[in-house]
Amino acid sequence: MKLLMDTHVALWLFNDHENLSQTAKSYLLDEKNELHISIASAWEIAIKHSLGKLTEFPSGVKLFLMELYSCPIAIVGIYPEHIEIVEELPFIHRDPFDRLIIATAIYEDMSILTGDENIHKYDVNCVW
């Protein structure tokens, strides 16, 4: 299964956070799954860190990217087709990063690994 990780899933994975569900852990550990993350997640972390809202990575996005590079997680870029889908999404969720993650999953035919209930309300496959 092609999985697109939501930003909080990557943060929780790198910190072995207790909120990471057992089901999510099993998806992350299953070598048959392809793990992906949007570059939008790194962008989100950079913004949150600069605002002082991210304590999990005191070194900010640089440490986050180093963690990504050390794992079998593919970074997905942002493409015009993703942006076109963002424009068509209903405004169930107003977070621009989450909306881009949803659009990316739709276009790239991926399931989103997320605990965010708002994302689960979209017409996209989510696992948690």
Q: pLDDT averaged over the chain?
A: 95
Contact 72, 35 (CB under 8 A): yes
pLDDT in tens, 22-47: 999 999 999 999 999 999 999 999 99
Instruction: Give me the domain span that covers residue 69.
Output: 2-127
Q: For residue 60, which of 71, 47, 73, 70 has the smallest C-alpha distance?
A: 47
Dist. CA 71–CA 54, nearest whole Å: 21
> What is the predicted pLDDT for the residue at 67?
92
pLDDT in tens, 10-21: 999 998 888 899
Mean pLDDT (whole number) for 51-59: 82
Provide the CATH number for the domain around residue 49.
3.40.50.1010
Contact 40, 97 (CB under 8 A): yes
The dihedral of CA 57, 59, 65, 69: what is its sign?
negative
pLDDT in tens, 91-114: 998 999 999 999 999 999 999 999
Task: Write down the pTM of the prediction.
Answer: 0.94
